[in-house]
């Protein structure tokens, strides 16, 4: 015969679940930007850059505004600098569905590798990219195709460089040469150094000066020279 539930069990069953207290923290809108602004999806963000103060940003800014950019980040810095604050802010400001727009590809990056890595990072985040001069637009199927061609050409170029390097090393090895910097001290130099170091009146510094190298280099070739130098003191 089944036992009847106890009073404690009935009380626990009828006890109402307590809701957590309401939070005073305001709910963050999914489209909230870094500066607290809220914009719709599909925002067009421009990035303009010049290398020197003598160059004028007006041409780039006018083209970006005509392309519908609602916010433009500007910068005066060489493209060879990897960490550019305004570009970093523009990339952080963008949200999924937005599009980063530049006047020319070299405004964004100075190498194919840097360009592909930046655009690929945007693609992963769901952000499009447009270059006005080259008419590259990754939000269209044609633009995606062109970008993939860029990636394939860059990989092809890297493969050619690797193959040329290997071929050069193989040819040098057949000729008896090895890679790396040439030795500063030849075996004849080391024989002279050993002979001079056998004389306790001649210091390691004097031997190194005669051979045209530093004492540290001589110690690297002849570790025993350090012991000889200590014994002569």
**In a structure prediction context, what are the per-residue pLDDT tens digits for the chain, which is 233 residues long?**
555 556 555 555 555 556 666 656 556 555 566 556 666 668 899 999 998 766 788 999 999 999 999 999 999 888 777 788 999 999 999 999 999 999 998 898 878 888 888 988 999 999 999 999 988 899 899 888 888 887 887 787 778 888 888 888 788 777 776 666 666 777 888 888 888 888 888 888 888 888 888 888 888 888 766 565 554 55
Cβ(32)–Cβ(55) below 8 Å? no
For the domain 44-142, what is the CATH superfamily, name and number?
A: Resolvase, N-terminal catalytic domain (3.40.50.1390)
Give ∠ CA 204-205-206 in degrees, rounded to 5. 90
What is the distance between the alpha carbons of residues 123 and 195, in angstroms, rounded to a whole number?
A: 67
Residue 9: predicted pLDDT: 55
Beta strands across the sheet bearing 128-131: 71-76, 44-50, 99-102, 128-131, 136-137
Distance of CA 19 to the CA centre of its chain: 47
pLDDT for 231 equals 46
Output the pLDDT for position 195: 85
- Residue 129: predicted pLDDT: 94
Whole-number Å distance between alpha carbons of 140 and 135: 11
User: Which residue among the candidates 23, 51, 78, 131 is catalytic per the annotation?
Assistant: 51
214 among known catalytic residues: no
Task: Give the pLDDT of residue 102.
Answer: 95
- 3-class state of residue 200 by DSSP: coil
- Supply the pLDDT for residue 24: 63
Task: Indicate the DSSP class of residue 1.
Answer: -
Report the sign of the C-alpha dihedral through residues 209, 210, 216, 217, in that order. positive
């Amino acid at each position: 015969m089944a036992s009847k539930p106890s009073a404690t069990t009935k009380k626990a069953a009828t006890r109402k679940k307590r809701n957590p207290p309401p939070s005073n923290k305001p709910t963050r809108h999914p489209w909230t930007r870094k500066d607290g602004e809220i914009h719709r999806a599909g925002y067009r963000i421009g990035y303009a850059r010049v290398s020197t103060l003598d160059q004028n940003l007006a041409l780039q800014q006018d083209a970006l505004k005509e392309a519908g950019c609602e916010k433009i980040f500007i910068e005066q810095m060489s493209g060879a600098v990897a960490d550019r604050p305004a570009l970093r802010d523009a990339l952080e400001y963008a949200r999924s569905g937005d599009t980063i727009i530049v006047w020319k590809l070299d405004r964004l990056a100075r190498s194919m590798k840097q360009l592909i890595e930046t655009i690929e990072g945007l693609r992963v985040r769901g952000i499009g990219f447009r270059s006005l001069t080259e008419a590259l637009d990754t939000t269209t199927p044609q633009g995606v195709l062109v970008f993939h061609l860029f990636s394939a050409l860059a990989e092809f170029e890297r493969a050619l460089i690797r193959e040329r390097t290997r071929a050069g090393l193989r040819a040098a090895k057949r000729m008896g040469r090895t890679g790396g910097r040439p030795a500063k001290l030849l075996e004849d130099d080391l024989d002279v150094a050993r002979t001079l170091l056998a004389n306790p009146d001649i210091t390691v510094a004097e031997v190194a000066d005669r051979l045209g190298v530093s004492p540290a280099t001589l110690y690297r070739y002849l570790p025993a020279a350090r012991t000889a130098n200590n014994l002569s003191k």
